[in-house]
A and B are shown apart, each in its own frame.
Chain A
Amino acid sequence: MTHRSITHHLDEATLLAYAAGTLPEAFNLIVATHLSLCDVCRADAHAYDAVGGALLEDTPSDMTNGSLDKVLASLDNGTTSSPAQKVGGDLPAPLHSYIGSDLSAVRWRPVGMGVKQAILKTSKGATARLLCIPAGSAMPDHGHNGTEMTLVLKGAFQDADDYFARGDIEIAGKDVQHVPVADIHEDCICLAVTDAPLRFDGVLPRIWQRFVGI
């Protein structure tokens, strides 16, 4: 497979938090999905794992007596590898347990203006959804009360001067107000994660928001 090189990456703070294991599940999911497509960030994430490994050296606390013997007695000689991960289909593996291996498995719900979404079941703290934006359409102009990460899985979108294609991730914080527009060539499918409701400016989008819950 030829990989178009990814030009929009994760930021260092997110990579660190992913390595530390302190992100809400929905952000974990989008990070793992991006890492599946981006070796640059994958390597960086490994480096942050290494920091964790280094910190581990610092924190000993005595084990109770006999714990080693207890564990030794429980070991058998086999290894149980986790079942081989299914790779393939048009969705990266981290999404498989949430959706299935293929976009055809997604149960879309129309949310108006031609946009479809599917909310993925994750724990509280942040929300993950797939969005399908029709080719050439724009998402309503919106700002953010928290962080929004958007990862392109299929198609592409343009946001001001930046072009986001498969594997690219856009990170929008409170200071960002934007109108992403799907590329004209095909519908754009994204994984979007937010930790707070978006802020829509128009009256209609705000009514829409009430129904969609974004």
Chain B
Amino acid sequence: MSSNILFDPRTALLRNTLMLASSQTSSRKMSVGIPPQAQPALAGPMNYSGRRRVNDRTDTQPLWIDEMIRVRDGRDREAFAALFTHFAPRIKGYLMKSGADATTAEECAQDVMTTLWRKADQFDPTRASVGTWIFTIARNRRIDMLRKDRRAEPEDLPWGPEPEPEQSQVMEIQQESARLVKAIASLPDTQRKLIEQAYFGEMTQAEISELTGLPLGTIKSRIRLALDRLRHATK
């Protein structure tokens, strides 16, 4: 076990939680959540207003997954508050960079967080990190808001009587997502700016195709494996 794991209570907690969950049988959606009263270590640095003394979150550990599972499975408002405090300003910033004024962006950010609460049961940690899932909700809201377009979503994958997904699968996707955050943060400024432009809607298709070198190889293959397992489990 590396030293950063020893010094990060969140990681230790997540590991324990995952081990706990892997010893249980449950329905398809994995439940890594544990009741709030059973997690003094996590509840520690947070008060009810959701202010959190944030540790440096730039390492590659899975982020926010525990809060999200607590919202999903336990309807935990304190966990929601923590997610809101971190993500709402980021959603607002994203929408403003995409051309929304501050008031609209603020309202939409609140909407997106409300959607997170209402649709929490659709969060699947074998396919996306919390940040990724929130991004997709915010993006769809943005399309709605700026373009009034309908956005077609791919067909749901067959949702069969699959045994509980392996915890390693959850960890892989979560860790790959965290690694991606780090990799993108460490790209040279010019390249990161280009990617931002592509995502904030200031770039044409032709310009996008000039973009190369996104560090996506590993996460793509992990997600492919996860989908593959899902398809095979439901055949």
Give residues in A with beta carbon < 8 Å to B: 11-14, 16-17, 19-22, 24-25, 28-29, 31-33, 35-36, 39-40, 42-64, 67-68, 70-72, 74-75, 77-82, 84-85, 87, 92-94, 97, 122-123, 147
Contact of A32 among B121, B136, B154 (CB under 8 A): B154
A57 with B150, Cβ < 8 A, contacts A52-B199, A94-B155 known: no
Give the one of B102, B142, B200 with max A CB within 10 A: B200
By secondary structure, the A interface counts as: helix
When distances are taken between beta carbons in the complex, the residues of chain B under 8 Å from A64 are 106
CB distance from A192 to the nearest CB of B (A): 15
- 5 closest A-B pairs by beta carbon, nearest first, are A53-B132, A59-B93, A36-B155, A61-B93, A32-B152
Across the two chains, which residue of chain A brings its CB closest to B121? A79
> Which residues of B are interface residues toward A (Cβ below 8 A)?
49-50, 75, 77, 80-81, 84-85, 87-94, 96-97, 102, 105-106, 109-110, 113-114, 117-122, 127-129, 131-136, 138-140, 142-143, 147-156, 158, 176-177, 180-181, 183-185, 195-196, 198-201, 203, 205-206, 208-209, 211, 214, 216, 219-220, 223-224, 226-228, 231
Q: Which residue of B lies closest to A46 (CB)?
A: B223
Q: A80–B149 contact, CB under 8 A?
A: no
Is the beta-carbon distance between A53 and B227 smaller than 8 angstroms? Answer: no
Candidates A29, A57, A67, A82; contact of B88 at CB < 8 Å: A67
User: Which residues of B are found within 8 Å of A24, using beta-carbon distances?
Assistant: 149
B93 in contact with A39 (CB, 8 Å) = no
Given A56-B94, A75-B114, are A47 and B80 neighbors across the interface (CB < 8 Å)? no
Pair A16/B208 contact, Cβ less than 8 Å: yes
In the assembled complex, which residues on chain B have CB atoms less than 8 Å from the CB atom of A58? 90, 185, 196
Q: What are 17 A-B contacts with C-beta separation under 8 Å?
A: A13-B205, A43-B224, A46-B132, A47-B223, A50-B219, A51-B199, A53-B135, A54-B131, A54-B181, A55-B196, A62-B92, A63-B88, A72-B84, A79-B121, A87-B155, A94-B155, A123-B149
The smallest C-beta distance from B183 to any residue of chain A, in angstroms, reads 8
CB of B220 within 8 A of CB of A43, answer yes
Q: Is B105's CB under 8 angstroms from A61's CB?
A: yes
Within 8 Å CB of B181, what residues of A?
53-54, 57
Q: Indicate if the CB atoms of B140 and A21 lie closer than 8 Å.
A: yes
Give the residues in chain B near A60, CB-CB below 8 Å: 89-90, 92-93
The 8 Å CB contact of A17, one of B94, B150, B176, B208, is: B208
**Cα-based distance from A11 to B155 in the complex (angstroms):** 20
Q: Is the CB of A22 within 8 A of B110?
A: no
Whether B149 and A68, one on each chain, are in contact in the complex, defined by CB atoms closer than 8 angstroms, is no
CB within 8 Å for A63 and B132 given contacts A68-B81, A71-B84, A79-B119: no
Give A52 to B97 CA distance when docked, in angstroms: 13
Please judge, given known A-B contacts A11-B209, A44-B220, whether A56 and B84 are in contact too, CB under 8 Å.
Answer: no
Known: A52-B139, A56-B134, A68-B50. A93 touches B155 (CB 8 A): yes
B207 to chain A, nearest CB (A): 9
Given contacts A21-B142, A22-B203, A42-B227, contact A54 B154 (CB under 8 A): no
B220: chain A residues within 8 A (beta carbon): 43-44, 47
